[in-house]
Amino acid sequence: MDLQHSLWLGAPEELLSVAGLALLMVAAFAGDKASRLISILSVAALTVCAIMVAPELCSGATSPDADAFNGLYRADAFAAFAKLLIYAAAGVTLIVAPSFFDRLKAMRAEFPLLVLFAALGMGLMVSATDLITLYIGLELNSLAAYVLAAFLRVDDRSAEAGLKYFVLGALASGILLFGMSLTYGFTGGTSFVGIRAALTGPMSTGAVFGVVFMLSGLAFKISAAPFHMWTPDVYEGAPTPVTTFFATAPKVAALTLTMRVALEAFGAQVGAWQQIVIFASLLSIVIGALGAIGQANIKRLMAYSSINNIGFMLIGLAAATPRGASGMLVYLAIYVAMSVAGFVTVLLLRDENGDAIEAIADLSGLSKTRPWLALAMASVMFSLAGIPPLFGFWGKFVVFQAAVEAHLVVLAALGIAASVIGAFYYLKVVKVMYFDEAVDKVRGAGELSHTVLLVLSTLVISPLGYLLTRWLGHLADIAAASLFHIA
């Protein structure tokens, strides 16, 4: 394979590597006072990377033309779709973080670098077509994420979040690595193409265990039940910009990686993993809905909402069809917009001293004191619940439709029923803001950048978002088609 062609296809990751190392030198010599400059340059690097991968999505790049480095990496339309979401989410994080950390006098030059290297790892994850590339990308992202979770060193909650994330993440990595070793041992290869070819016949018991352990390790990364235990504590304890990042970019990378592993590497044995995915889907929906009901902290509620929504997305994976994969990607794009709107709103919830307000009870009567902020939060809650005419409804609709077309009618029916039940805790937040007596605790002034991001993301999840359905669905179809392209 031509090295020049491979280097060209891997240009986004190469750019992030060079930019990260160069900015690391700037941080070493200029110190924390250059943190804003490094953040701006990091956003610029992510923007350039997004411009570089966009043509791959629009052209519908597929294997073998998109294969690089002797089959270790693939720059196809599916990877491009995921990378655009990752770069957008990472950019949002870098925009909202400086003002948050400056208020606490905790902004350090390392923060944008960690986000940049995490984005590099996530880019490798979604382009991985070999178990070796998969693991390198996953660990590069994870190592940066552990530090980000514990970034506020003087905050006990942040330190606890970082420690829990590290310990449970190491356990999940061990489970994943064990599954990879079993898969390699019983298929004789590490490339997804080779694994698929080796699994075309009857599966051995060892290969089945390899599939189970790999999917279990990946389930932790996407916070799917029963491997969700880290999510509420990490979401609550990590700094809110970091929580914003965890809820968006790594979620996109891990879920799309799971799709590629299941549909490409294990695509010849759908029956071996479909029941696992269905079980994880239903369990995530139920645990996410029931766990959120008693939450008093808005970030913990969003954590359980994340688990709940992952369950709905996995319905599309259980369908194991191009339509299901396309529906997952549509849902994922909408979910990123909903998460950005939700956590930017949380960032704007501050008292008169500038301290963060996270207790749901402190939002009582917010519609009377800060009506526009209450409207934005209500839009997020209704959209996450999948209530029309908010755009979140469309995400659920496309995955349910794909499940029905794949003859998984019972799964779709259970998902719809659970969606109705889960709407309770979203409506509880709206009820507190609009019908409870005002406590007038939210008084802090918002940053202009936060306000702009909130307006844009709220418009996307509003009924105006339906104007994007044809365009978004077309791009998702292109990306899903490349995932099902067999070289």
- Which residues is 359 bridged to in the sheet? 297
**426 within 8 A of 385, measured Cβ to Cβ:** yes
> CA angle, 111 as apex, 110 and 116 as ends, to 5°?
95
Contacts 24+ apart (CB under 8 A), 156-160: 157/236, 157/237, 158/237, 158/238, 158/239, 159/237, 160/233, 160/237
Q: What is the dihedral of CA 363, 313, 281, 172, to 10 degrees?
A: -90
At 331, list the tokens. Answer: 């849902």
At 167, list the tokens. Answer: 């310990």
Query: How many angstroms separate the CA atoms of 259 and 269, rounded?
Result: 14
Query: How many angstroms separate the CA atoms of 96 and 112, rounded?
Result: 11
Tokens 């390790």: give the residue. Answer: 217
How far from the centroid of its chain's Cα atoms is residue 3's Cα? 32
Q: What is the DSSP letter of 214?
A: H
Give, for 38, the enclosing helix (H) or strand (E): helix 35-59
CA 73, 77, 79, 83 dihedral sign is positive
Query: How many angstroms separate the CA atoms of 74 and 422, rounded?
Result: 38
Q: How many CA atoms lie within 13 A of 454 on its CB side?
A: 24
Tokens 């690391």: give the residue. Answer: 24
Q: What confidence score (pLDDT) does residue 487 get?
A: 43
Strands 67-68 and 73-74: antiparallel
Give me the phi and psi of 359, to 5 degrees please: -75, 130
pLDDT-flagged residues of the chain (< 50): 487
Among 106, 103, 233, CA closest to 162: 233
Q: What confidence score (pLDDT) does residue 12 get?
A: 95
Q: What would the pLDDT profile of 23-36 be if each residue is shown by its tens digit? A: 999 999 998 899 99
Q: What would the pLDDT profile of 58-115 be if each residue is shown by its tens digit? A: 887 787 888 999 889 999 999 999 999 999 999 999 999 998 898 888 889 999 999 9
**355 within 8 A of 441, measured Cβ to Cβ:** no
Q: What is the 3-state secondary structure (H, E, C) of 71-116?
A: CCEECCHHHHHHHHHHHHHHHHHHHHHHHHHHHCCCCCCHHHHHHH
Q: What confidence score (pLDDT) does residue 271 get?
A: 87
Q: What confidence score (pLDDT) does residue 260 get?
A: 95
Per-domain boundaries in the chain: 3-483
Query: How many angstroms separate the CA atoms of 32 and 111, rounded?
Result: 10
For residue 486, the tally of other CB atoms under 10 A from its CB is 10
At 57, list the tokens. Answer: 């999505």
Tokens 């029916």: give the residue. Answer: 413
Q: What confidence score (pLDDT) does residue 429 get?
A: 92
CA distances from 55 to 79, 194, 239, 432, 484 (A): 12, 28, 35, 46, 19
Going through 163-319 in order, the beta strands assigned E by DSSP cover: none
Please enumerate in sequence order all residues whose Cβ is within 8 A of that of 25, keeping only pairs 6 or more positions apart, or say none.
none
Query: How many angstroms separate the CA atoms of 302 and 288, rounded?
Result: 10
Give me the phi and psi of 348, to 5 degrees please: -85, -5
241 preceded by cis ω (within 30°)?
no
- Which residues is 55 bridged to in the sheet? none
At 4, list the tokens. Answer: 């020049």
Q: What would the pLDDT profile of 123-168 be if each residue is shown by its tens digit? A: 999 999 999 999 999 999 999 999 999 998 878 888 888 999 999 9
Average per-residue pLDDT for the chain = 91
Query: How many angstroms separate the CA atoms of 421 and 401, rounded?
Result: 20
Among 225, 31, 218, 6, CA closest to 126: 218
Rounded to two decimals, the pTM is 0.95
> CA angle, 340 as apex, 336 and 341 as ends, to 5°?
120
